[in-house]
Amino acid sequence: MSCQIIYIERISEKIVCYVGTWAVYRQGLGRFDIENINPFLCTHLIYAFVGINEDGTIRNIDPYLDLEENWGRGHIKRFNALKAINPALKTMAAVGGWNEGSRKFSIVAANHTLRQRFIRDAIDFSKRHNFDGVDLDWEYPAQRNGNPAIDKNNYAIWLEEIRSAFDREGLILSAAVASVKHSAEKSYDIERVSAALHFLNIMTYDMHGAWDNYCGLNSPLYRGSADNIDVQMQLNINASIHYWLSQGVPKEKVILGIPLYGRSFTLLDPSCNHIGAAVSGPGIAGQYSREPGVIGFNEFCEKQKSEQWDIDFNEEQKGVYATKENQWIGYDNQNTIAIKMEYLLELDLGGVMVWSLENDDFLGVCFDTANILMRIIYSALYNSTDIPTVVPTSATTAGVPNECTAEGFFPNPDTCEEYYVCTSDGRRVDFSCPDGLWFDPLYEICNWPEQVNCHLFTVV
């Protein structure tokens, strides 16, 4: 499958896109591989995650996925090869994440020798794998088994040291940071942190979730009238962004976080389903991600094709939620994301960050085009519906059916390198594996040729 590559001139605002690389292990239409990334929809792609060791070195959390050694999948190499398609793209490695916790970060940040070891290893890691920099995802300094007495200052010192070394090497330094005041003020010396970072990915989501005893929007733009106590009044994008700006962060460094997933709840009383209604715990899990209380936009839009959900827009908070029997989901759709982009442009912020690409309708299962949410973001920043893309030419041959008869992933019977996806409404989308890889129908991935029984499906 050959490709026509369309280039356009970019503007200064950033579109920072995290990729949850473990989504390649999901089943069916939820499986998200490197080839599902359109490298023109983002200015910065962030590979999530790599880990940190107590000795200050970086580790591959999933070496089989990340690397090529021992017949690995070579995700990192393929990820960074996207820059050959879009030379303007920047790629970064996210170190940490929620599951990595805080303790090891706290140990490294407290010791000058360990901090310097991390810096050397981060530079070596970036250059060895062709990353343009590192995104530090310590969640969070002085919290979650960190050291409340010293983390805040040590984090600032560490970032300052990293930035000084990265500037000499021409590398980018960003960080994912807590959004709301009551958390951010515990963790950050904001003036120093913002000076050290090239930009800050502010996680303006997870405002409400299964940890609450009532349902609330995942990422409301404004406070609701029922948010009367101080902590509740902070749980919205507007309060968070203005807090960070009030602490002296230059607006061009503020990257507004938008979730491409929703938070679900189980209502105590299905007849009482307004925002703030009592809940008994997390709601349904996404059919691919399988985490109770969390559902990707792609997962929910698929459900809507066969299930009847009531959708309500809350004018006060500029948020949308869906209900069905005792299930309640607060999420973002095309409308709410468009509103958030208007807000971002009005404040003249530095750009937008999304968590994460695999949660969009990346195959176009629900809509006529793939990546509907990312396209709204791109169109808003570029004031254009002319979305740059890699345009596949037809891969259909005499040995490949023109119409789909079943949903899923299928090998092209005429060539080992190509495969196609059939969506639930019978549409077909063709894909090609990266150079040197073949499609593996057993695992539904692009794999090393010696691992694939290509003769099982090649037309003879």
Could you give the residue numbers annotated as active site? 139
For the chain, the residue count is 460
**Rounded Cα–Cα distance for residues 266 and 210 (Å):** 9
Residue 259 tokens read as 């979730």
Task: Read off the tokens for 344.
Answer: 């971002």
Q: Which residue has the tokens 């507007």?
A: 238
List of residues 6+ apart from 100 with CB closer than 8 A: 49, 51, 52, 137, 139
C-alpha to C-alpha distance for 365 and 121, rounded to whole angstroms: 41
With beta carbons less than 8 A apart as the criterion, state whether 109 and 161 touch: no
Cα distances (angstroms) measured from residue 284 to each of 199, 218, 278, 330, 336? 35, 15, 16, 12, 22
Q: Return the residue matching tokens 């990312």.
A: 374
**Contact between residue 222 and residue 186 where contact means Cβ atoms under 8 Å apart:** no
User: Which tokens go with 363?
Assistant: 């195959």
CA–CA gap between residue 170 and residue 185 (Å, rounded): 30
What stretches of 112-254 show up as alpha helix (H) in DSSP?
A: 112-129, 151-169, 181-187, 190-196, 230-234, 237-246
Residue bearing tokens 């010293």 = 150
Q: Which residue type does 181 have?
A: K
Let me know if 174 is exposed, middle or buried by CB neighbors in 10 A (0-12, 13-18, 19+): buried
Cβ(224)–Cβ(198) under 8 Å? no
Residue 243: asked if its preceding bond is cis (omega within 30°), the reply is no
Distance in angstroms (rounded) separating the CA atoms of residues 389 and 359: 19
